[in-house]
Every structure is written in structure tokens, then in C-alpha cells.
Amino acid sequence: MKVERRRLAELTTLGVGGTAEVWTVETPADLLEATRAPYRVLGNGSNLLVSDRGVPERVVRLGGVFRRARLGKPRRGERVHLTPWVGAGALLPALVQEAARLGLSGLEPLLGIPASVGGAVRMNAGTRFGEIGEALEAVELFHEGTFRVLDPTELDLGYRSSRLPPGAIVTRVRFRLTPAPAEAIEARMAEVDAARKSQPKRKSAGCAFKNPPGDSAGRLIDVAGLKGLREGSAMISLEHGNFIVNTGGARAEEVWRLVKRVQEELPLELEWEVWGELP
Ligand code: FAD
Ligand code: EPU
């Protein structure tokens, strides 16, 4: 296990945030030790706005056995493929590609989401083509010092939401996938990819706000004329209104001011999770 003081700006996709004591756990014994004091769990840091002052709690990252990920080859004639246990620290983009290579369908809607498996379960990450919850067979949690396996229905997965017990860490999942022809999987992936074309390539944490029922937060921000608005090095993307981008060296305070500016004009709910104190 590695314990080191790190800048969370380096461990988040937005590239913002002060320091914390980061505990990278490699075994169940490490996990037990790391969670003996107040902690937060960090996945791939792709849905987080972290305070410039960092966080006082331990930040637990899944490494070692928790990153092991094999989907298993589909057997001839198999109609439903249940994968082996996949570590929650594994990265979704690699799994989406691995599934396509093996001829397994079910993860295509998640193409382009830069999440860890655990973070994707916590957020029920997805696109309009589908969510991770639809592909889950079982979820293993570490909670109050013990491991237990849950049926995904017990997590109450909704639109970018779940109900994990407080402090619970997703440690492994099994997926339920369907063997399918490579061309069909590739066609689905191309469709999902096309739907992301308007999203900026710059540093961001994905969509900042949830879509209100039947509408798009990005469209509303666009119509309100807020695209291109800047606070220091943070900017509401000109390409997609629901993305706040870090144009280089942005501070959490600046990003937060943009969030507030949007919320002064529109009743939008934040999709990001905020870590630490913000003004
Ligand atoms: P983090 O950001 O590290 O953490 C998010 C939350 O999950 C925190 O509360 C954290 O404590 C918790 N968490 C993380 N790991 C675990 C674990 N093992 N157990 C328990 N809790 C855990 N999201 C979508 O849904 N659809 C999209 O299309 C999409 N596109 C994106 C595009 C870009 C360019 C970016 C940067 C982000 C995008 N996102 C999208 C947002 C983000 O990828 C998702 O919210 C994702 O699920 C976050 O996963 P993560 O591993 O990065 O979690
Ligand atoms: N639109 C505008 N202006 C903008 C942005 C969007 O007019 O600046 C319009 C588009 O033209 C389109 C509509 O709004 O008619 C919807 O836009 P888009 O197709 O880009 O989808 P979205 O609702 O903005 C959602 C998810 C994304 C996901 C895409 C693809 C949310 C908050 N966002 O975006 O998820 O990648 O669909 O399925 O649910 C995320 O959650 O972080 C995320 C990026």
C-alpha cells in the first residue's frame, strides 16, 4: 500500500484541487487499514470539483487486486455471458474496448465515459443509450469492515444516482453481457461516439449539471447566453454549455463562481460532487 500526500488536481480530470493524504490500497487488508479513520473514495476523479484547500480526510484509491479486470470469453452457444468479478478500480474505457474485442454487447452506451467501474456504479453513469446499471449482474461492497454482495436492484440506481450505504466502497462487480456480432457492436459504438461530438476535448469533469426532466441543461445554458463566460482560467465551454473547462491552471474558486452564475439564472442541480470547502 502506498500512502502519500498528493495534489488532487493531478488525480482529477478537471485538474483542480489541493492536497490530501492518498491511500492507494492493493489488498483487502490494506482496505481495512485505510478505512480506520475518516475517508473518501476516489475513482478516476472525473465527476469531482475539489477545493483548492484539498480535503482533510484520507482519500482511498483502489489499486492492486481491485484493478484486476477480465471479462472472460463467451462460450459457443451462450446467450447470456456473466463475467468474472471485475475490480472496481479498473477503467471503463478499457473495458468497453475489451468487450467489443471479445464480441460482448452491453457496455457500448458507456463509450467515452472516463470513469472507474466503482465511480460509474456510484453515479450510475450512462448516456441516452443506456446506463451501467443495465449491465450489472452483482455488486460487491466493502462496508463497515466487511465485504458483501448485493443485487443491483438493492442500489436503487436512477438517473446519475444510486443509494449506496454511507461510506460503502464498491470493490468488484460482475457484468451480464450478451454475445453479439462484432459489426453490431461497432455500429452501436459509432452511434454513441457521434452523440459525443459536441463535447469539448479540454480538461473538464463532464456535464456540470443534471438534465431537468425532458430538457437539456446544456441547451438551457446556451439559450441563456452563458457560453464563453469566464472566471479566471475557468470557462463555460463554447462547444457545449454544460461543460465547464479548465483552460489552464484554473482554481476551484473560479469554477465554483461559474457554477453559481449559472444557478443564479437557471434552476439546475449540480451533477458533480464537491469535495472540501468552497466559498
Ligand atoms: P469519481 O469522480 O472519482 O467519484 C465520483 C463519486 O463516486 C464520488 O462520490 C466518489 O466517492 C464515488 N466513488 C468513486 N469510486 C467509488 C467506489 N469504488 N465505491 C464507492 N464510491 C465511489 N458521466 C456520465 O454518466 N455520462 C457521460 O456521458 C459522461 N461523460 C463524461 C465525459 C467527460 C469528458 C468527463 C470528464 C466526465 C464524463 N462523465 C460522464 C462524468 C463521470 O465520468 C462519471 O460521473 C463517472 O461515473 C465518475 O466516475 P469516477 O470513477 O471518475 O468517479
Ligand atoms: N444543446 C444546445 N447547446 C449546447 C449543448 C446542447 O443547444 O450548448 C442541445 C443539443 O443540440 C441537443 C440537446 O441540447 O439538441 C442535448 O444535447 P446533447 O445531445 O449534447 O446531450 P446532453 O443532454 O447535453 C447528455 C448527458 C451526457 C451524455 C450525452 C450523450 C447529462 C447531464 N448529460 O448530454 O453525459 O454524454 O447526453 O448521451 O445527462 C455527463 O453526465 O457528465 C455527460 C457528459
- Kindly give the distance from the C-alpha atom of residue 115 to the centroid of ligand 1, in angstroms, as a whole number: 5
Q: What pLDDT, on a 0 to 100 scale, did the predictor assign at position 277?
A: 96
Report the alpha-carbon distance of residue 162 to residue 123 in Å, rounded: 6
- The count of structural domains within the chain is 3
Ligand 2: residues with CB < 6 A are 127-128, 195-196, 198, 206-207, 210-211, 216-219, 222, 240-242, 271
Q: Is residue 42 within 6 Å of ligand 1 at its C-beta?
A: yes
- Kindly give the distance from the C-alpha atom of residue 63 to the centroid of ligand 2, in angstroms, as a whole number: 32
Ligand nearest to the CA of 160: 1
Dihedral sign, Cα of residue 175, residue 114, residue 274, residue 144:
positive
Report which protein residue has its CA nearest ligand 2's atom 5.
218
Q: What pLDDT, on a 0 to 100 scale, did the predictor assign at position 159?
A: 98
pLDDT classification of 279: cutoffs 50, 70, 90: confident
| Domain of residue 41, CATH code | 3.30.43.10
> Both 114 and 103 in a single domain?
yes
Average pLDDT over residues 16-35: 98
- Kindly give the distance from the C-alpha atom of residue 218 to the centroid of ligand 2, in angstroms, as a whole number: 6
CB–CB of 217/160 below 8 Å? Answer: no
> Both 99 and 165 in a single domain?
yes
Average pLDDT over residues 224-249: 98
Average pLDDT over residues 43-62: 98
Report which protein residue has its CA nearest ligand 1's atom 24.
125
Average pLDDT over residues 13-41: 98
pLDDT of residue 179 exceeding 90, the answer is yes
Coil, strand, or helix at residue 218? helix
Domain span at 136: 68-195
Report which protein residue has its CA nearest ligand 2's atom 19.
195
Ligand nearest to the CA of 217: 2
Q: What pLDDT, on a 0 to 100 scale, did the predictor assign at position 226?
A: 98
> Both 177 and 100 in a single domain?
yes
Q: What pLDDT, on a 0 to 100 scale, did the predictor assign at position 216?
A: 98
pLDDT mean across residues, the chain: 98
> 41, 65, 89: which is the final residue of a domain?
65
Alpha helices in 112-251 (DSSP H): 117-123, 182-195, 217-223
How much of the chain exceeds pLDDT 70, in percent? Answer: 100
Each residue's pLDDT tens digit, 159-177: 999 999 999 999 999 999 9
How many C-beta neighbours within 10 Å does residue 154 have?
13
Coil, strand, or helix at residue 136? strand
Residues in the chain: 279
Each residue's pLDDT tens digit, 113-160: 999 999 999 999 999 999 999 999 999 999 999 999 999 999 999 999
Q: DSSP letters of 52-84?
A: TT--SSEEEEE-GGGG-----PPPTT-SSEE--
Cβ neighbours for 154, distance < 8 A, ≥ 6 positions apart: none
| Domain of residue 208, CATH code | 3.90.78.10
> 195, 218, 247: which is the final residue of a domain?
195
Cβ neighbours for 205, distance < 8 A, ≥ 6 positions apart: 12, 13, 14, 46, 47, 48, 49, 244, 272
Average pLDDT over residues 220-234: 98
